[in-house]
Structure 1
Amino acid sequence: MSGPDAGSSPPRSRDTVLHVHSGNLYGGVESFLRTLAREQRGAPGPTHAFALCFEGRMSQELREAGASVSVLGGARVSRPWSVWRARGALAELLRRERYSAVVCHSPWSQAIFGPVVRSAGLPLVFFQHDALEGKHWLERWARVTPPDLSISNSRFTAGTLRNVYPHIPGKVRYLPVVPPVSVSSGEERARVRAELGTGANDVVIIQACRMEAWKGHRLLLEALGRLRQVPGWVLWVAGGAQRPYEARYLEGLEALASELGIRERVRFLGQRSDVPRLLRAADIHCQPNLGPEPFGIAFIEALQARLPVVTTAMGGPLEIVDSSCGVLVAPEPEPLAEALRRLMAAPEERQRLGAAGPARATALCEPNVFFQGLAEDFQSLAARGHR
């Protein structure tokens, strides 16, 4: 679609904030926006509407949640005319609808659409989901249009905001993660394991994230390769390739599992929409990042599922995982293998760490707390005026 598509719009009895994002991939940012759409009814603060460049899973889930979704048209920097067309679509949308502010969810959307928001005279908010170095060309382009406010998803990411916006006020808001409605039952656990060819008594390690090398898939496989003589464990890898280089990366992981002699114990599950269900049927969550995770919704979901979390000691997870609910290790195969070996052999320790997970997740990511904080952010923005 080349122009704005209003989608199904709920009644706008409150101020409405427009969130601008690409929408062609699916990961933590998209999961957050889905939660924002689903949980906004009855929550304090403004109504949240969305403008995406691409149709796909993201736009479908937002509409299913009853949110207003406008499609601006596919914008690709390599095709300048597509950027101009998408900018024109957003300008028309801002003229037609009444928004109290616009939020851009990446340096890409900030660079492309920030000037349009400025021209419309609306407050501009940058939602910081990743650490910023200030060196990438997209970050340098985004620097040209500073926002009125930045909201960061962790203290770690907020500490890097100055690399692009040294003089912009910022807030830290841990992303909302809704607890699962259902709890794990023995029948459901057995059913999921049977579907995935896993024994009832196997210790299941699960990693659920995008196919990015820095997420540590190779490190996890190398650690488990050291445990190939240890009986009774299985690895579930949830997450499919969304881009060509991710497909090549996945092929390399499958080859590595074969080289390590553990291929028959690794289940590559592809893209899944039932990750909470998989988590409830697993025993240990492990995502050993090689680079610092900005925040980590996957860790919160694992805590909600009462899984002990094993990860590397860097980035946002340092604000999530402590000794009450998980294990932090160095990003090397040997300490990771030793941590997994200990948990495999100690079901009572897994139970102790898992029992603390839900309370830890609630303390950090309770949705009502997030929405109240976000409402305060937009109120303060309106009170002091914008550029």
Structure 2
Amino acid sequence: MSTILVTATVPVHIERFHLPLLRRLSGAGWEVHVASRADLVDESIAKSHVVPWTRSPFSFGNIRAYRQLKSLLDREHFDVVYCHTPVGGAITRLAARDARKRGTKVVYMAHGFHFYRGAPLVNWLVYYPAEKILSHLTDDLLVINGEDFDRASKKFPTNVVMTRGVGIDFHSFEGEVTRAMRTQLRESIGLQVDRPMVLAVGELNKNKNHELLIRAWATGPGDGIDADLVVAGTGGLCEHLEALAADLGVADRVHFLGYRTDIPDLVSVADLLVSSSRREGLPQNVVEAMAAGTPVLASPIRGHFDLITHGTTGFLTQGFTPEEWALALRTILSDPDRLSRVGSAGRVSARKYRLPEAMQPVFAILDSLKPSAA
């Protein structure tokens, strides 16, 4: 039986994004092992290995993780190693150098490089040379957006493959939404039913840039944007953002829901989803909104460019100022018919990111690396 090791620093990454692929690999005759910071249990996983690495590339704890992972690779003799996350991918590829000489194939999926157009200089000084060196230790480098593909295919000495990411299970986002369902959910979170609902989904951190949205809500004529901004997610900036909304006088229109298990329902009843991120690879929240037929307004960055054609399958702002976002929000929300047309076109465009369509090329690459297929 062919064996594959799938690695990522945190188990939730594997649980959230890769279990369907692992189940398909197991069904195709692979013995699937995983390595992460905690134990993982699934019918597809033959063995779970706990590796004590951290997400920080500068942590000395990762030296121990490297040694432990190298010992595992030397002991088990995997046919393929499939790695994820920046630190997990780096340590795995370094630890697999000897195993690769013995015939193990190493595949890395980059879920959005930390160096990108407009990235801070420190990102380019640290992550770009590291990834270029590590590409020498990689048989197949899988990327998920056009900017990363263009740069990696020109600069890195490895086989670079453009993919559509890990795919989205569309079933939760394709159901019909009735007016009664819309009214009930909006009332349950304290919204005015007749006021537009704008949804932001994601961790409350600097990259997701919720502060820009809150400042946009307070910008412009009158009291700012006459719509409800609903923020679903948790994170270290929660108290800061709540205080900012109060200071700017928009706390009555900015609603922090915290952690939610009903994201598909929230997405389906929203009039618009917003993504103000500074950096994305191929954002799942945007694909999910498009799958539901909910139009999207997003920042002008890599990942968003891959998903959205402005004015046709979604909307892109011109920059990152509150004034630009406030103008875009007013213009978009004032034209319900256009919102409906764009939402419908986005739903059609997003179909290529459905789980079966997106997973198939990744599965084909990994399955082709079976020793019997060589």
Structure 2 length-normalised TM:
0.82
Give the superposition deviation at 1:94: 6.5
Aligned mates of 2:288, 2:87 — CA distance in 1: 27
2:159 partner letter: P
Over aligned residue pairs, what C-alpha RMSD do you find?
3.3
Give the direction of change, closer, same or farther, for the CA distance of 1:343–1:100 in structure 2 (3 Å limit).
same
Identify the match of residue 349 of structure 1 among 313, 335, 338: 338
For residue 16 of structure 2, what is the aligned residue in structure 1? 31
Give the superposition deviation at 1:212: 2.7
Give the superposition deviation at 1:79: 5.9
8 Å CA contact 1:87–1:113 kept in 2: the answer is no
Aligned mates of 1:140, 1:45 — CA distance in 2: 37
| Aligned-partner SS, 1:150 | strand
8 Å CA contact 1:237–1:267 kept in 2: the answer is yes
1:50 partner letter: V
For residue 5 of structure 1, what is the aligned residue in structure 2? none
Give the direction of change, closer, same or farther, for the CA distance of 1:208–1:46 in structure 2 (3 Å limit).
farther
For residue 178 of structure 1, what is the aligned residue in structure 2? 169
8 Å CA contact 1:226–1:337 kept in 2: the answer is yes
Aligned mates of 2:30, 2:179 — CA distance in 1: 41
Give the direction of change, closer, same or farther, for the CA distance of 1:336–1:30 in structure 2 (3 Å limit).
farther
Aligned mates of 1:309, 1:84 — CA distance in 2: 43
Where do 5+ consecutive residues of structure 2 fail to align?
116-122
Residue deviations 1:184-210, cap 9 Å, x none?
333433332222111222211011122
Give the superposition deviation at 1:116: 2.8
| Aligned-partner SS, 2:18 | helix
Residue deviations 1:22-70, cap 9 Å, x none?
11666xx8632255356x3798796754321235xxx4xxx36754561
Identify the match of residue 169 of structure 1 among 159, 183, 193: 159
Aligned mates of 2:31, 2:182 — CA distance in 1: 38
Aligned mates of 1:329, 1:278 — CA distance in 2: 23
Give the direction of change, closer, same or farther, for the CA distance of 1:317–1:16 in structure 2 (3 Å limit).
farther
8 Å CA contact 1:178–1:366 kept in 2: the answer is yes
2:214 partner letter: L
Give the direction of change, closer, same or farther, for the CA distance of 1:41–1:72 in structure 2 (3 Å limit).
closer
* Matched residue count: 354
Aligned mates of 1:206, 1:79 — CA distance in 2: 36
Give the superposition deviation at 1:384: 12
Aligned mates of 2:208, 2:149 — CA distance in 1: 21
Structure 1 residue 237 corresponds to structure 2 residue 236: no
For residue 328 of structure 1, what is the aligned residue in structure 2? 316
Give the direction of change, closer, same or farther, for the CA distance of 1:86–1:189 in structure 2 (3 Å limit).
farther
Structure 1 residue 159 corresponds to structure 2 residue 150: yes
Structure 1 residue 115 corresponds to structure 2 residue 105: no
| Aligned-partner SS, 1:119 | helix
Residue deviations 1:269-298, cap 9 Å, x none?
223333212111211001123x34221111
For residue 196 of structure 1, what is the aligned residue in structure 2? 189
Structure 1 residue 296 corresponds to structure 2 residue 287: no
For residue 19 of structure 1, what is the aligned residue in structure 2? 6
Aligned mates of 1:319, 1:351 — CA distance in 2: 21
For residue 201 of structure 2, what is the aligned residue in structure 1? 208
1:70 partner letter: S
Aligned mates of 1:65, 1:334 — CA distance in 2: 51
8 Å CA contact 2:141–2:161 kept in 1: the answer is yes
For residue 306 of structure 1, what is the aligned residue in structure 2? 293
1:131 partner letter: F
Give the superposition deviation at 1:135: 3.9
Aligned mates of 2:47, 2:232 — CA distance in 1: 28
For residue 70 of structure 1, what is the aligned residue in structure 2? 48
8 Å CA contact 1:45–1:372 kept in 2: the answer is no
For residue 244 of structure 1, what is the aligned residue in structure 2? none
Aligned mates of 1:251, 1:360 — CA distance in 2: 37
For residue 108 of structure 2, what is the aligned residue in structure 1? 126
Aligned mates of 2:213, 2:338 — CA distance in 1: 21
1:340 partner letter: L
Moved more, 17-26 or 194-203: 17-26
Give the direction of change, closer, same or farther, for the CA distance of 1:93–1:292 in structure 2 (3 Å limit).
closer
Aligned mates of 2:43, 2:337 — CA distance in 1: 40
